[in-house]
């Protein structure tokens, strides 16, 4: 039986990895090996070895697993919290600091330790440990917040989309609410229709009216109503926290 947590980690990371945004860009055949695991054609060991090079995501997984008392940071419960969110998940600020430090070292390897500590203080304290925190904090480090970033922001965030049309074997149309920037503040926008990629091999039983998670313009998995709500609450909470730092 395949490891469901590892499958989820791959599903959400594969597209950004293809775009050389995470993992090792020179890892031979890594994209194909990860996809093969999703399709049941590869062994768990090689998938883990590749995922362990996704250093930033790994840092978050390890922090969440530690809080939950889990030995395996790829446990499916960890994936649920990080990618889809749990608004009731409480974490010690020192634990969050560990993950933040990895982000800063990854994005700004030239900084000295004192400078790293100063950047850590810029992270809002009233946040939820969820993928949206990582996206917003990374953009804050880049000191950017403008209209040009809306597409990048919504590509990086995990959004929920309601399937309204199955166009063909490669695309579907969904209704979703992207995050917009108004007067230099983040907010959840109005519902809009958008076309996204759909891999029938990975989501074979998709139906009109179902909700799917979206990442980099790709449908990742079918969501329950509870997961849709958790995702919305976590994103809104983190948007509010980062807006308050203005």
- Find out whether 206 and 198 touch, Cβ atoms under 8 Å: yes
**Element at 220 (helix H, strand E):** strand 218-223
Quick one: pLDDT band at residue 180, thresholds 50, 70, 90? very high
Q: 221 or 102: whose pLDDT is higher?
A: 221
pTM equals: 0.92
pLDDT of residue 104: 83
Q: Which of 108-122, 124-138, 150-164 has the lowest mean pLDDT?
A: 108-122
pLDDT of residue 160: 98
- Separation CA 188–CA 134 (nearest Å): 17
Q: What is the mean pLDDT of residues 68-93?
A: 94
Over 90: is that where the pLDDT of 110 sits? no
pLDDT of residue 141: 77
- Separation CA 190–CA 136 (nearest Å): 20
3 state SS of 126: coil
Find where tokens 């009731």 sit. 88
- Separation CA 37–CA 48 (nearest Å): 10
144-153: long-range pairs with CB below 8 Å, 24+: 145/181, 145/184, 145/186, 146/181, 146/184, 147/181, 149/181, 150/178, 150/179, 150/180, 150/181, 153/179, 153/181, 153/186
């Amino acid at each position: 039986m395949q490891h469901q947590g590892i499958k989820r980690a791959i599903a959400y990371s594969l597209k950004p990895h293809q775009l050389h945004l995470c993992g090792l860009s020179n890892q031979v055949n890594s994209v194909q090996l990860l996809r093969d695991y999703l399709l049941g054609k590869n062994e768990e060991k090689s998938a883990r070895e590749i995922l362990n090079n996704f250093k930033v995501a790994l840092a978050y997984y390890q922090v969440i697993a530690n809080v939950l008392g889990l030995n395996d940071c790829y446990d499916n419960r960890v994936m649920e919290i990080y990618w889809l969110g749990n608004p009731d998940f409480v974490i010690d600020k020192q634990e969050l600091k560990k993950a933040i430090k990895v982000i800063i070292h990854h994005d700004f390897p030239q900084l000295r330790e004192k400078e790293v500590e100063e950047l850590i203080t810029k992270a809002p304290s009233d946040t939820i440990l969820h993928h949206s925190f990582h996206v917003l904090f990374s953009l804050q480090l880049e000191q950017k917040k403008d209209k040009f970033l809306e597409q990048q922001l919504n590509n990086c965030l995990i959004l929920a989309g309601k399937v309204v049309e199955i166009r063909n074997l490669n695309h579907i149309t969904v209704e979703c609410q992207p995050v917009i920037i108004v007067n230099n503040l983040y907010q959840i926008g109005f519902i809009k229709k958008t076309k996204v990629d759909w891999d029938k091999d990975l989501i074979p039983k998709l139906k009109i009216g179902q909700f799917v998670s979206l990442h980099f313009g790709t449908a990742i998995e079918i969501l329950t109503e509870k997961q849709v709500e958790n995702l919305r609450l976590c994103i809104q909470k983190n948007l509010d926290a980062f807006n308050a730092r203005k």
